[in-house]
Amino acid sequence: MCEMSIAQIFSTAWPSIGSVVSIATNLNRIAWGRRPLTKRTLSAGFGHDINSRHSSAPRPPVLKAREICRILESLGFAFVRQRGSHMQYRHPDGRGTTVPNHPGRDVSPVLLRQIVKDISMTLEEFLRQK
């Protein structure tokens, strides 16, 4: 009787151990009603790639509210009103967003992404105006 390790069995049955994990991952995704991952979606940065620890999306910088307001004004947004510490900006085409203005505090990266999403831009386009 031939003695083979589990790794040798998997390597003969499948080209790499990673494909076994991918098959199991995709079966799990299908069972939960989600789309299976393909090489195309993994290379585009969608889903969870088991071979990388970090996502491909760039991390937004930490900015002060004053800097965000300056960028918005350079993009053509006008200060409309303020309620408490929340400043509202509107563009002539109808886009609008709210910027929290807490002195001495940074705007969180998550909130910066939401502000950029509100004005229908990408993070890169927004930061180019800086």
* pLDDT of 40: 60
Written as one string, the DSSP assignment of 46-85 is -S--TT-SS-SSPPPPPEEHHHHHHHHHHTT-EEEEEETT
pLDDT at residue number 130: 82
Contact criterion met (CB below 8 Å) for 66 and 46: no
In angstroms, the CA 29 to CA 119 distance is: 33
Identify the pLDDT of residue 88: 97
pTM of the model: 0.58
| Distance from C-alpha of 3 to C-alpha of 32, rounded to nearest angstrom | 38
Q: Average pLDDT of each block of 10 consecutive residues along the chain (130 residues)?
A: 55 52 68 67 52 62 94 96 96 96 92 95 91
Nearest to 67 by CA among 126, 5, 26, 1: 126
Q: How much is the pLDDT for 39?
A: 61
